């Protein structure tokens, strides 16, 4: 159902194909399954946890019979829980072992696997439009690259993404078009919205989006929280509390949704950078979105997180929200200091987002730290942020093989003006390289 409650309830595949609900709200589950650790007996790897956790959400849906293969395809790389200190009182959940070395690979791959089964029976071609300010576009492009029956167009603001990000957005070809828009990220988002309303484009192909509000990206993110909390529960008989580097709140919401299904999850701390809309809201109760500020943890530079709507649908009362969720804001100076300290203390190399979570843990009162089992969520591999990390730790960051391969590919992209006629022209079938 929609977070605004004004649209008819939709099944899982309808929600995935539509992206946004017709009333402008975000799709959320109508009801929650009641699961417990014994329901996961024998489920060791992420794919088998995924099947048991997600089956109730797709029950009766056209996707239900293919959940097994979808999960096997999406969860084909691990999310290891690495202990740091105190016999596992503190550990790191590494979500960066996928093709583009960030957690968004999980959601993007699950969504691509769903789309491949929902379409691909000789129906009209499907075109997926993504506006990106950095990480999302790369993960989506990687997940859909070379899939038959699907065209992808990635729109990014020309000159406003980092060199590493630009390589990841433009190294594809075949069914993926990379469009450098002469404008800002907001222009890219506006163009995608206009495209959805454009009769000419709609006549050419079925349009869909793969941005982070799609339910098909959010639900699979619950899986690694379920698996990590089950691992802690099996080893220690205690709940795991998570510290989640947060921007648009999708990843943190997935953790809270996993908790809602009955997974052994304790508290959730939202670690924000200098964009403090959410921490301020938790402190004062006033929701005051604002323009975003550029920080070192750039994937979290969000001043008006869209998933707040889902968070408030889950916890309509602020008092209730505060019993489970807390939030803090970390400065760039603290991020730098934490990257240095993480290397010195634990031999860990952290990306700026992960360091934000580590700083949030550092700030917890000692008795709170000692009372629980804490898990720092590591959202990206540090090699994606070498320019920031290497000077701080005084050594080179090893680049994972998959990322190195990707960065070595030739790049191609088309530059367009920030208007609809330019987008239409760029999406002509014959304009593909
Ligand atoms: C997208 C992203 C985040 C923020 O996740 P949200 O779901 O938007 O809160 C954090 N870290 C990295 C590396 C990301 O790519």
Q: Ligand 1 centre and the CA of 282: distance in Å?
A: 20
Q: Is the pLDDT of residue 163 over 90?
A: no
Q: Ligand 1 centre and the CA of 250: distance in Å?
A: 8
Q: Which is more confidently placed, 201 or 49?
A: 49
Mean pLDDT along residues 242-248: 96
Q: Topology of 75-103+218-402 in CATH?
A: Rossmann fold (3.40.50)
Give the model's pLDDT for residue 363: 96
Q: Ligand 1 centre and the CA of 246: distance in Å?
A: 6
pLDDT tens-digit profile of 359-393?
A: 999 999 999 998 889 999 999 999 999 999 999 99
Give the model's pLDDT for residue 120: 55
Position in ligand 1 atom list of the atom nearest CA 246:
9
Q: Ligand 1 centre and the CA of 307: distance in Å?
A: 12
**Cross-strand bridge partners of residue 241:** 374
Q: Ligand 1 centre and the CA of 276: distance in Å?
A: 15
pTM score, whole prediction = 0.93
Residues framing ligand 1 (Cβ under 6 A): 102, 104, 135, 245-252, 299-300, 353, 379-380
Mean pLDDT along residues 18-22: 78
Mean pLDDT along residues 164-190: 90
Given ligand 1 and candidates 162, 379, 381, which is best to mutate, with the most ligand atoms within 8 Å of its CB?
379
Q: Is the pLDDT of residue 51 over 90?
A: yes
State the Rg of the chain over Cα: 21
**Nearest residue CA, atom 11 of ligand 1?**
379
Position in ligand 1 atom list of the atom nearest CA 253:
7
pLDDT tens-digit profile of 264-277?
A: 999 999 999 999 99
Position in ligand 1 atom list of the atom nearest CA 221:
7
Q: Ligand 1 centre and the CA of 308: distance in Å?
A: 14
**Nearest residue CA, atom 2 of ligand 1?**
299
């Amino acid at each position: 159902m929609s977070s605004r409650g004004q649209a008819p309830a939709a099944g899982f595949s309808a929600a995935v194909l539509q992206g946004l609900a017709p009333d402008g709200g975000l799709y959320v589950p109508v009801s929650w399954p009641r699961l417990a650790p014994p329901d996961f007996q024998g489920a060791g790897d992420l794919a088998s946890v995924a099947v048991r956790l997600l089956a109730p959400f797709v029950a009766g849906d056209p996707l239900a019979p293919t959940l097994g293969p979808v999960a096997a395809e999406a969860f084909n790389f691990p999310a290891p829980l690495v202990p740091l200190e105190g016999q596992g009182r503190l550990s790191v959940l590494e979500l960066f072992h996928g093709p583009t070395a960030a957690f968004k690979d999980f959601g993007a791959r699950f969504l691509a696997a769903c789309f491949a089964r929902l379409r691909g029976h000789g129906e009209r071609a499907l075109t997926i439009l993504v506006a990106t300010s950095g990480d999302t576009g790369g993960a989506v492009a990687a997940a859909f690259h070379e899939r038959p029956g699907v065209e992808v167009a990635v729109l990014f603001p020309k000159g406003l993404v980092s060199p590493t990000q630009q390589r990841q957005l433009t190294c594809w070809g075949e069914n993926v078009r990379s469009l450098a828009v002469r404008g800002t990220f907001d222009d890219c988002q506006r163009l995608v919205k206009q495209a959805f309303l454009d009769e000419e484009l709609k006549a050419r192909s079925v349009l869909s989006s793969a941005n982070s509000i799609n339910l098909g990206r959010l639900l699979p993110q619950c899986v690694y929280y379920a698996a990590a909390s089950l691992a802690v529960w099996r080893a220690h008989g205690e709940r795991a509390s998570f510290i989640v580097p947060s921007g648009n709140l999708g990843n943190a919401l997935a953790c809270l949704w996993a908790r809602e299904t009955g997974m052994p999850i304790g508290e959730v701390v939202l670690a924000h950078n200098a964009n403090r809309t959410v921490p301020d809201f938790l402190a004062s109760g006033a929701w005051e979105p604002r323009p975003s500020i550029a920080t070192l943890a750039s994937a979290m530079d969000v001043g008006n997180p869209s998933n707040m709507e889902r968070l408030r649908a889950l916890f309509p009362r602020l008092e209730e929200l505060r019993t489970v969720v807390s939030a803090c804001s970390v400065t760039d100076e603290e991020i730098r200091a934490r990257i240095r300290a993480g290397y010195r203390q634990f031999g860990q190399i952290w990306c700026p987002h992960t360091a934000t979570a580590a700083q949030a843990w550092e700030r917890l009162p000692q008795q709170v730290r000692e009372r629980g089992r804490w898990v720092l969520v590591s959202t990206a591999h540090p090699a994606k942020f070498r320019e920031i990390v290497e000077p701080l730790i005084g050594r080179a960051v090893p680049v994972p093989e998959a990322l190195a391969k990707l960065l070595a590919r030739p790049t191609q992209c088309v530059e367009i003006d920030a208007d609809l006629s330019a987008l239409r022209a760029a999406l002509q079938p014959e304009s593909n390289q």
